[in-house]
Chains A and B, each alone.
Chain A
Amino acid sequence: MSDELDYSNIETPELIQQIHDDLYDGLVAEVTAAVNELLSRKLTPYDVLTRALVGGMDIVGVDFRDGILFVPEVLMAAKAMKAGMVILRPLLAETGAPQIGTMVIGTVKGDIHDIGKNLVAMMMEGAGFKVVNLGINNDADKFINAIKEHQPDIIGMSALLTTTMPYMDVIIKTLKEQGLRDKLIVLVGGAPLNAAFAEEIEADAYCRDAAVAVETAKKLIAIRRGNM
């Protein structure tokens, strides 16, 4: 029960450390309680998000890459992160900077991997983007329809299979045919991709992880809007 978790005696730096540990262990109630405690200490929602939650997920990501954690642990951590986001999302909307932009993101046709893409969606949302998450197995039509409906600044495509990444090329070609490509920033990600592939298919950038996706999105939007 989260009410029974009393974090009021723990100093803020230790409490942030505690959230990192609790995220690592996938403890939903503990993360919820600690996020509320930090907010009551007048940390901004953005600080709680970046220092506590994103900081914690970064550690999970590194240990996953190093083979110390496996998928079940990553999913548990993502659930705990989501619980924290439920609290922060409305506050970020109230207090946060104006919405930076809109992103439509999805996993491409033939591919059902969505764990990484969902993390990217969550982090983008945390950073102030409106995110439209199309889920898995999206063909070019689904992307095009979503672009027409939501008028995003950015589209994000995810593929985890060597055999599905070529479909990103199909989507970009379709965007070009329909005259939509130049209006959009196209970001791509997923474990088997690399920067050379992104360049080959004429995406705007390859994003190694969620943090890079956020940075890249912010940077390219600023450039487009002539702020840089």
Chain B
Amino acid sequence: MNKLQALLENNPVVLADGAMGTMLFEAGLQFGDPPEVWNMSHPDQVRAIHRGYLESGSLINLTNTFGGSRFRLSMHNLQAKAPDLNRTAAVILRAEVEAAGTGALVAGDIGPSGEIMAPLGTLEYADAVDGFAEQAAALVAGGVDVIWIETMSALEEIGAAFEGVRRASADIPVITTMTFDTRGRTMMGVTPEQAYKFLAGLGAAAVGGNCGNGPNELLAVVQRMRAVASPDAVLVAKSNAGMPKLVHGKAVYECPPSEMADYSREVRAAGARIIGGCCGSTPAHLKAMAEALAA
């Protein structure tokens, strides 16, 4: 039994962490600058965010590597740093998880390339697999327990990421979530049902949705996946805290902790077993969710 299976065996519902990116902006990261660089330039701030989520009761924590693929880093001419930034991120999070001593897992975060796959766009499948394999290998070398592929919108791309992970490790458990933010589908038009079937078919350990337009829409995603999923399938919900609104030039997310607490109970009732937050959520949101799920 791998660590993820053991965690799920011992907990009917597992809390995953909240946002990293929006927390880093709070801490002073400038918009448009790559968050992954902070793993090396500002490790204390990254550690403090991990610690906040661990103290709130999160049992699956994601490395600060959402944009850590060579594709995203090349926007800043940092593609050569991809292995270092990913490995360091894993090491930093591992240290915090060990210090917390709660048995939480370290999940290596892989986000989208930001490109569109050929033939519609320019990213060739084989190149995508190579880039994701490089990122996954560095995360595995840094000691992650699972890989979490997130915020994907195209099946071809998440398929390439999955294949890249498998090239780096034959057996590491892989959690996969897509973002259903466009009328119940992903940006590229993928429905929750299609996503579930495709990802379960690849052999993902857990499947679900993350980010999006807020908790209500993610609840519908879980319901729709539940309706087509096998009974023992592990479904995931990692919602953002609503949509950002600009208030005096700053992005403010609309859901307070109490609403995220309600959401966590609702998605649990709908059949999600791994529940967390995304953009705009903070350790305070996670704490409210942990309390709601414990009650």
Residues of A with Cβ closer than 8 Å to B? Answer: 67, 70-73, 75-76, 109-112, 137, 139, 162-167, 169, 197
For the complex with contacts A162-B246, A169-B249, 10 further pairs of A-B residues with Cβ separation under 8 Å are A72-B120, A72-B188, A75-B116, A75-B121, A76-B120, A110-B32, A112-B75, A163-B244, A164-B32, A167-B32
> Is B197 interfacial (CB-CB < 8 Å)?
no
Task: With both chains docked as a complex, state the minimum distance between the C-beta of A24 and any C-beta of chain B, in angstroms.
Answer: 15
Contacts of A162 in B (CB 8 A): 243-246, 251
The 9 residue pairs across chains A and B that have the minimum distance between CB atoms = A110-B32, A70-B189, A67-B183, A109-B32, A162-B244, A75-B120, A110-B31, A163-B251, A166-B249
Q: Once the chains bind, are A197 and B246 in contact (CB under 8 Å)?
A: yes
> Is B47 interfacial (CB-CB < 8 Å)?
no
Residues of B with Cβ closer than 8 Å to A? Answer: 25, 31-33, 75, 114, 116, 120-121, 182-183, 185, 187-189, 243-246, 249-251
Contacts of A163 in B (CB 8 A): 25, 31, 244, 251
Nearest residue, chain A, Cβ from B116: A75
Q: Once the chains bind, are A137 and B249 in contact (CB under 8 Å)?
A: no
CA A75 to CA B122, docked complex, whole Å: 12
Task: With both chains docked as a complex, state the minimum distance between the C-beta of A216 and any C-beta of chain B, in angstroms.
Answer: 23
Task: With both chains docked as a complex, state the minimum distance between the C-beta of A194 and any C-beta of chain B, in angstroms.
Answer: 10
Task: With both chains docked as a complex, state the minimum distance between the C-beta of A207 and any C-beta of chain B, in angstroms.
Answer: 19
Q: Once the chains bind, are A71 and B244 in contact (CB under 8 Å)?
A: no
CA A197 to CA B249, docked complex, whole Å: 10
Q: Once the chains bind, are A72 and B189 in contact (CB under 8 Å)?
A: yes
Contacts of B244 in A (CB 8 A): 162-163
Could you say which of A67, A70, A164 contacts B31, with CB atoms under 8 Å apart? A164
Contacts of B243 in A (CB 8 A): 162
Q: Once the chains bind, are A166 and B246 in contact (CB under 8 Å)?
A: yes
Task: With both chains docked as a complex, state the minimum distance between the C-beta of B73 and any C-beta of chain A, in angstroms.
Answer: 13
Task: With both chains docked as a complex, state the minimum distance between the C-beta of A75 and any C-beta of chain B, in angstroms.
Answer: 5
Nearest residue, chain A, Cβ from B245: A162
Q: Once the chains bind, are B182 and A67 in contact (CB under 8 Å)?
A: yes
CA A169 to CA B248, docked complex, whole Å: 12
CA A145 to CA B284, docked complex, whole Å: 44
5 A-B pairs with CB atoms under 8 Å apart are A70-B182, A72-B120, A110-B33, A163-B31, A166-B251
CA A72 to CA B120, docked complex, whole Å: 7
Q: Once the chains bind, are A71 and B187 in contact (CB under 8 Å)?
A: yes
Q: Once the chains bind, are A167 and B31 in contact (CB under 8 Å)?
A: yes
Contacts of A164 in B (CB 8 A): 31-32
Task: With both chains docked as a complex, state the minimum distance between the C-beta of A134 and any C-beta of chain B, in angstroms.
Answer: 14
CA A67 to CA B187, docked complex, whole Å: 10
Q: Once the chains bind, are B188 and A71 in contact (CB under 8 Å)?
A: yes
Task: With both chains docked as a complex, state the minimum distance between the C-beta of B119 and any C-beta of chain A, in angstroms.
Answer: 9
Contacts of A76 in B (CB 8 A): 120
Contacts of B75 in A (CB 8 A): 112, 137
Nearest residue, chain B, Cβ from A79: B120
CA A111 to CA B33, docked complex, whole Å: 11
Contacts of A139 in B (CB 8 A): 32
Nearest residue, chain A, Cβ from B183: A67
